[in-house]
Structure 1
Amino acid sequence: MHLSPAFLCPPSITPNEAVVQGFTFPPEAGYPLDPVLGPKYFMMETHYNNPAQDVDIRDTSGIRVYYTESLRRHDAGVLSVGMDPNWRHIIPPGQPEVVSEGHCISACTQQTVPHRGIKVFAVILHTHLIGHKVRLRHLRRGEELPFVSVDDNYDYNHQVYRRLKKPVTVYPGDHLIAQCVYNSEGRTTITLGGLTTREEMCLVFAMYYPRIDLSLCHSLPSLPSVLHSLGIQELWPGSNPVRIKSPPELADMTLESRLVTYDWENHFRSFQEATRKGSFKPLCWMTKPTIVPVSGDYVFPANQIFFGKLR
């Protein structure tokens, strides 16, 4: 798993060319530049979006990284929490609020976080164009703790690391949730999860110390949950394009057609409930990369789900 240096090495330049003054690590931690234990190389990756097809654009953006040979007490790490970018992340059109959630389950932190915990000291909240609220929720033994970070006025054009007023300790067995709310009123077709700007994401990049062997803690809606949310009971095995087998009224319709023609206006509430109550596949990746063994799909306890608007 390679995290984009845009998330590792602020400062950055925002699209309106306002210079961000940068990010300074706390005195007790620093990001390790260790040729033996650390990354073998760093890669700068820049994504461009030019929907107006403007010509003769010159890019002068860049980053500047400062380092020291005086090592600090703790090595810092970056943990990605949220929904894995994938077509199963579905955002219906024409809705003022669509809630999506990506889980870092307790079984993952139980196996990777030391007994003294890790301290989260900064975050980047990340969606694309239609995201307008993002929260990083924190649960311990079924109890909801204060949010690690929250932005109810999220702006895609202003993404920088935010230092927390006080580091938040995450212990083994804690459950983290990246919770994103989208406003899709300006769109007439569905938006799917993915890497392009027109697609959507729901991720929180948390910087913490001491560094552990975990880089990605995501979840992905299970296929049965996605099908149930669309009123589909069964698909034809091995069909290409993918076709619906049942119920009878949808038989032989392609999955793509169902997504495009679904009556979102009248079925949005049931869709939202199915996606938030349904099962999901947890994804826990170590830095090697190696998958942390987590068995089967997972269902989040119903009494810990927030329905309706974010509170």
Structure 2
Amino acid sequence: MSGFTAAFSSQMASCQWVTARCCHLLIFFLVLLKTPQVECRRHYRYSTYLDSLRRFHLWWDVNYNTNVVNFRLLAVVNPDEWFAVGYSQYGKATNADYFVHWSDKKKMHHCKDAWSDGDGLLHIDDQQDYTILSGRYNNHAMIVEYERAFDTCDNYDFPFDNGTTHITFFIGKGQFDFPEDANVTLLSPNSQRILLLKPDLPTPVHPKDTWTFTIVAPKVTIPAKETTYWWYTTNLPPMPDKHHIIQFEGYINKGNEDVVHHIEVFHCEVAPGVKVPYYNGPGLAEGKPKGLKVCRKVIGAWAMGAAPLHLPSEAGYPIGGSKYSSNVLLEVHYNNPTIKRGVKDASGIKFYVTPTLRKHDAGIMEVGIEYINKMAIPPRQKMFKFVGDCISECTKVALPPSGIHIFASQLHTHLTGKKVYIQHVRDGIELPLVNWDYHYSPHYQTIKMLQTPAHILPGDAMVTTCEYDTSDREKATIGGFAISDEMCVSYLHYYPLCNLEVCKSSIETKAIDKWLNFMKRWDGDKTSMKKGYRDNFYSIRWTPLTSHLLDNLFKTSPLSMQCNQSDGTRFPGRWEGAPQTQIKLPLEPIPRKCPGVTNHGHNVVIV
């Protein structure tokens, strides 16, 4: 085992491994002599492997007092290999911010803050922003601890925010100096997604009487088709007394991680003793049994990338008791683009429950855009917006007088989604965002706990915006259930429980019909009211002008609202032709504390 010399330890103490702010060149020397190893930090709160071969292991802590992230990186590399780990908008190796390590012919180890340009060529950053804390090389593994500020005010560095962080990394061979102008796209770069700036919240302790159960698919043979929503009706375990669900998590069949896209468990809102029809098959198939519309109340949800959800200590999802039906419906969305055959699956959700009740019953509400093919994204669009409205008229009739507190949120789109955010509006004034992810990935749909719960009052509105990139598609992308279709929703976890289950919108039917008829008369498109909306959108001759016309239609048209109760019925109100939410006083962007450096994106939240 190799370690550090006393001289190195002294240098580290005096300069903290060459402090980034006061030294242009960030070089550290790990002299491989048989001396005691440098002590590593005792504990990091978070960790993940970056690759399936486990050559890269990352640990980290977040300090919200100093706005600094502390990292510990283990890289399994040979002496003649160099590596880089960094960050980019969506995990691409180009236009990325890198931490680069290599060793020279004298076995001295070096690190630099670097960046790649649009062609993937690597360059040293003039502003070095990593502070090295310790390091050692041991049995073909490089272990280095370092720290970096959330926002370095360097345009070649990637600011850390509260959304998804896309990590890009690679290993090169045969380099004994900084690999200036090396093309990183030729080095088989890989990527991983994490929630780097996790909220600084305590994990509630489970009561001693906590127990668990799972609701899983009954060894389903996944159909050999791209998209399947599988439904399975079953029963909860006996719970004669009321319990609270205090945690749930995905229970994914080993080997099926790439085909299980998301899972929901719905409670069937019927009286105890009433039997719900048994069903085990595709949820969108014709001929499915009647009576399953009552199975709408979500009690557990998971999507790719989601970690276990721990409810706050004051709330739990109610379940069980003499007046609670045991009927539930499991829905599993299988995404099988390579049309695998004969794959068996028994995935589902694991629940943690306790009879020790908490102060509040909690619930899950769905906001955003209705799953309907009246919505479409034109092809060849870079960032086309869908906006889903939970209007004030709905919350006014559906929420309790004291309002609700949203403590967690899960954002959801399909493959072209790039950015999602939920605005909170009260009397025309935009309040702080409920949730946001400006580097969203449909492959990492974590349930994010909110550092400060959003307090939604009756009469408030929530506006969910999704932005999509269809630049590589030649046909319109339609709203719908298939993975190649699109969605724009968020699952809001809140307390106290109320009867508002769904608050979503779509364009008014009359408005889209009138537009399709206009396109036939003005542009000669072969649209027809005898066709479905999907076929009509496929009949449009998409140009920059027709795409702009559709965008303007969505921005200005009245809404068709789903203001639905848990049993699927709508609250009383005028829901067809409802007005869109108007923001009279937008939220001011949070300025970066960086003179001369431009802001990045919409209301970037650095802390």
On whether the aligned pair clears a TM of 0.5, the verdict is yes
SS of 1:297's equivalent in the other structure is strand
Aligned pair partner of 2:579 in 299, 305, 309:
299
Q: Which runs of 5+ in 1 are unaligned?
A: 234-243
Question: How far apart, in 2, do the equivalents of 1:16 and 1:288 lie?
Answer: 31
Q: Map Cα deviations across residues 225-272 of structure 1 (whole Å, 9 max, x no partner).
A: 324555x34xxxxxxxxxx8x737649743535643323333222221
Which of the two has greater helix per residue? Answer: 1
* Residue 10 of structure 1 pairs with residue 249 of structure 2: yes
Corresponding residue of 1:236: none
Residue pairs, 1:41-56, within 5 angstroms:
41-55=327-341
Match of 1:284 in 2: 563
- Give the partner amino acid of 1:164: L
TM-aligned CA distance change 1:90 to 1:35, over 3 Å: farther
Pairwise CA distance, 1:26: 0.4
The C-alpha deviation readout for 1:283-302, integer Å capped at 9, x for no partner, is 10011232112214122256
Structure 1 equivalent of residue 546 of structure 2: 267
Task: Write out aligned runs for 1:23-34 (5 A).
Answer: 23-34=309-320
Secondary structure at the aligned position of 1:157 is classed as coil
Q: Is the 8 A contact 1:102 1:177 kept in 2?
A: yes
Written as runs of structure 1 = structure 2, the 5 A alignment for 1:133-282 is: 133-227=419-513, 229-230=515-516, 232-233=517-518, 247=521, 250=524, 253-254=527-528, 256-257=535-536, 259-282=538-561
Summarize the Cα distance change of 1:171–1:249 in structure 2 as closer, same or farther, 3 Å threshold.
closer
Q: Aligned partners of 2:567 and 2:305: how far apart in 1?
A: 35
* Equivalence for 1:80: 366
Instruction: Find the aligned partners of 1:86 and 1:22 in 2 and give their Cα distance.
Output: 30
Q: Is the 8 Å Cα contact of residues 12 and 160 (structure 1) preserved in structure 2?
A: no
The number of residue pairs the alignment matches comes to 292
Displacement of 1:275 after TM fit? 0.8
For residue 282 of structure 1, report the CA deviation from its aligned partner.
1.4
Which structure 2 residue ranges, 5 or more long, are not aligned?
Answer: 1-230, 233-246, 261-303, 587-600
TM-score (norm 1): 0.84
- Residues of 2 paired with 1:48 and 1:112: CA distance? 33
Query: Could you tell me how far 1:11 is from its partner in structure 2?
Result: 3.4
**Are the equivalent residues in 2 in contact too, given 1:128–1:198 (CA < 8 A)?**
yes
Conserved? CA contact 2:429–2:585, under 8 Å: no
The 4+ residue runs of structure 1 with deviation greater than 6 A are: 16-19
Work out whether residues 135 and 147 of structure 1, in 8 Å CA contact, stay in contact via their aligned partners in 2. Answer: yes
Q: Is the CA contact 1:81–1:204 (under 8 Å) kept in the aligned structure 2?
A: yes
Contact residue 305 and residue 446 of structure 2 kept, 8 A: no
State the distance in 2 between where 1:198 and 1:190 align: 10
Q: Is the Cα–Cα contact under 8 Å of residues 250 and 349 in structure 2 kept in the other structure?
A: yes
| Correspondence for 1:117 among 400, 403, 408 | 403
Distance 2:571 2:328 in 1: 24
Instruction: Give 1:219 deviation, angstroms.
Output: 0.7
Q: Which residue of 1 aligns with 2:353?
A: 67
**Following the alignment from structure 2 to structure 1, what is the Cα–Cα distance between the partners of residues 545 and 312?**
50
User: If each structure's strand is expressed as a fraction of its own residues, which one has the higher value?
Assistant: 2
Q: Give the letter for the 2:350 counterpart.
A: R
Asked if the contact 1:190/1:260 (under 8 Å) is kept, the reply is: no
Please tell me whether the aligned partners of residues 10 and 160 of structure 1 are also in contact (alpha carbons under 8 angstroms). Answer: no
Larger Rg: 2
* Mapped partners of 1:136, 1:226: distance in 2: 25
Q: Per-residue CA shift, 1:106-151, capped at 9, x if unaligned?
A: 1110011112110000011000010111111110001111110000
Q: Give 1:23 deviation, angstroms.
A: 1.1
User: Bigger relative contact order, structure 1 or 2, given CA contacts below 8 A and separation 6+?
Assistant: 1
Cα deviation for residue 38 of structure 1 reads: 4.9
State whether residues 229 and 270 of structure 1, in contact with CA within 8 Å, keep that contact through their aligned partners in structure 2.
no
Distance 1:36 1:92, change over 3 A: farther
Q: Tell me how far 1:54 sits from its aligned partner.
A: 2.8
Q: Distance in 2 between matches of 1:70 and 1:143?
A: 40
The one-letter code of the counterpart of 2:447 is Y
In the alignment, which of 122, 128, 142 is matched to residue 414 of structure 2?
Answer: 128
Residue-by-residue CA offset, 1:200-245 (whole Å, 9 max, x unaligned): 1110110100000110011110123324555x34xxxxxxxxxx8x
CA distance, structure 2, for counterparts of residue 155 and residue 19 of structure 1: 10
- Partner of residue 238, structure 1: none
Q: 2:380 aligns with which of 89, 94, 102?
A: 94
Tell me: CA distance 1:35–1:196, structure 2 relative to 1, closer, same or farther (3 Å): farther
